[in-house]
Chains A and B, each alone.
Chain A
Amino acid sequence: LAKTTQPISMDSYEGQEVNITCSHNNIATNDYITWYQQFPSQGPRFIIQGYKTKVTNEVASLFIPADRKSSTLSLPRVSLSDTAVYYCLVGDGSNYQLIWGAGTKLIIKP
C-alpha cells in the first residue's frame, strides 16, 4: 500500500492560489492519485483524481510529474470557505484498504 506524506498545515490569504504537495515515493503502476476535502464534523468530499500529467475540473487542478512520485493540488483564488483539511490518497481502486494520513490543514485568512 502506497503511503503519502503531506505538510501538516498551511496558511494563505483570500484570492491567492494555494498549492499543496503530496509525496508518494512507492506509488504503483496501477495507482491513481485522489484528493479529498473535509470540513469539521463532515465526511470527506472528493475533489479530483488523476493518473499522470495534469487534470483540471471546476474547483481544482492536479499536477503529476512524469515519475509520479509526487503530486500537487492547486486551488485557484481561494476563499475563506476553502479552510479545511485536504487528504491525498493513492490506490488502484481495487484495493479497499486505502491509507488515510492526517492530511493538510489549510487555513485561509481574510
Chain B
Amino acid sequence: DGGITQSPKYLFRKEGQNVTLSCEQNLNHDAMYWYRQDPGQGLRLIYYSQIVNDFQKGDIAEGYSVSREKKESFPLTVTSAQKNPTAFYLCASSIQRSGYTFGSGTRLTVV
C-alpha cells in the first residue's frame, strides 16, 4: 500500500542533543512537508519541499533543518538550537489539489 512512514513513533532527546526524524513516502508525490503540533493546537509548518534538492522555510523553521536528496525521503533534524522541541511532529506529502497525505507522527520529548 502507498503511504508515508514516519519513524520512530516516540523519541526522547537530551538537552543539547540533535535528533533526526525520518519520513519516507512511496506515493510519488513531489511535495513534502513537516509540521509541528502542540497539545490542543493546529498544525504549524516547519519546512516544505516542492522538488528534490530544494526546500523552503515555513513559519517556525528556527532550530530545525531538513534535506531532500531523494524524492521519497525528507528527514527533519531537531537541533539543540530549538529550545522547546517537545511536540508531535507530522510529515505529509501532496500533489497539487489532491490534499495532503500524512504519516502517523513522531512524538518527541525532551528529558
> Which residues of chain A have a CB within 8 Å of any CB of chain B?
32, 34, 36, 41-46, 49, 87, 92-94, 96-103
Contacts and interface: CB of A to CB of B under 8 A. Distances in A.
Given A96-B31, A96-B56, A97-B45, A41 B99 contact: no
A102 B102 contact: no
Contacts of B41: 102
Contacts, number: 54
Nearest to A45: B102
B99 A46 contact: yes
Contact of A32 (B35, B45, B97): B97
A98 B96 CA distance: 13
B48 interface: yes
B90 interface: yes
B2 interface: no
Interface of A (DSSP majority class): loop
| Chain B contact patch, size range | 20 to 34
Contacts of B40: 102
A100 B31 CA distance: 18
Given A43-B105, A102-B41, 8 more contacts: A43-B104, A45-B102, A87-B42, A92-B97, A93-B98, A96-B48, A96-B56, A99-B42
Nearest to A99: B42
B64 interface: no
A6 B105 CA distance: 24
A93 B42 contact: no
Nearest to B49: A96
13 contacts: A32-B97, A43-B92, A45-B102, A46-B100, A49-B97, A49-B99, A93-B97, A96-B33, A96-B50, A101-B42, A102-B40, A102-B42, A103-B42
Given A43-B102, A45-B102, A102-B40, A93 B45 contact: no
Nearest to A87: B42
B103 interface: yes
Nearest to B92: A43
B110 interface: no
Contacts of B97: 32, 49, 92-93
